[in-house]
Amino acid sequence: MKRIFIAVKIEPGETLSGMISSLKSGLRNENIKWTNPENIHITLSFLGDTEEEMISAVNTMLKEKCEGFGKFELVIKGSGVFKSLADPRVIWTGIELSPGLIRLNEVIKDGLKKTGIRIEDRPFNPHLTLGRIKTVKDKNVLKSLLDKYQNLEIQKTVTDEVILFESILLNTGPIYKPIGKYKL
């Protein structure tokens, strides 16, 4: 059994890297576990603990659904927190919904259902997790840093691959090991 998820990997460009550095610097006295830049991704579907035979079925489905799909552009824009500013848990930057991303998510969710995998039934909210907040003493600093990026277009990137990852949880942070890569 492996803990798996399906994602699009994002390589941080100059502006996204600068944003992350600015957030880390401005929030250096807070208790935040920052995402390793190598692990930045858009989760399309989190499957959790999955048996080997189901992983094989997911692999086959992804090969079929991704082949010939076609690459598309993504726009990384804005910033915010999950839960709320009063009780922040995750710092994120957003992904503009594009027709390609919406269609890719729908095709993969449909493929998972037909494979017999139960998936979360909630709206698709594409984002990049930048940090997981343990505690924040000064929420005004957090708010002012997020406001700086709230409506800013941070990066454009072309997506041409979907990756099936195994998530290995360690005390030092997760390791995301690619199990399969699927060209679009």
Kindly report, residue by residue over 106-131, the tens digit of the pLDDT.
999 999 999 999 887 788 999 999 99
Q: Look at 172 and 49; give whichever has higher pLDDT.
A: 49
Give 49-117 as a DSSP string. Answer: EE-HHHHHHHHHHHHHHHTT---EEEEEEEEEEEE-SSSEEEEEEEE---HHHHHHHHHHHHHHHHHT-
Kindly report, residue by residue over 12-30, the tens digit of the pLDDT.
999 999 999 999 999 999 9
Q: Look at 173 and 16; give whichever has higher pLDDT.
A: 16
Degrees to nearest 5, angle at CA 58 with 52 and 64: 145
In the prediction, which pLDDT does 102 show? 96
Kindly report, residue by residue over 124-160, the tens digit of the pLDDT.
999 999 999 999 999 999 999 999 999 999 999 999 9
Kindly report, residue by residue over 49-97, the tens digit of the pLDDT.
999 999 999 999 999 999 999 999 999 999 999 999 999 999 999 999 9
In the prediction, which pLDDT does 119 show? 84
In the prediction, which pLDDT does 23 show? 97
User: Tokens representing 72?
Assistant: 């598309």
Distance of CA 72 to CAs 43, 103, 153, 156, 160, Å? 16, 11, 17, 11, 7
Closest CA to 83 of 36, 150, 39, 134: 134
In the prediction, which pLDDT does 171 show? 87
Residues taking part in catalysis:
41, 127
Q: Structural domains in the chain?
A: 2-183 (3.90.1140.10)
Q: For 3-19, what is the mean pLDDT?
A: 97
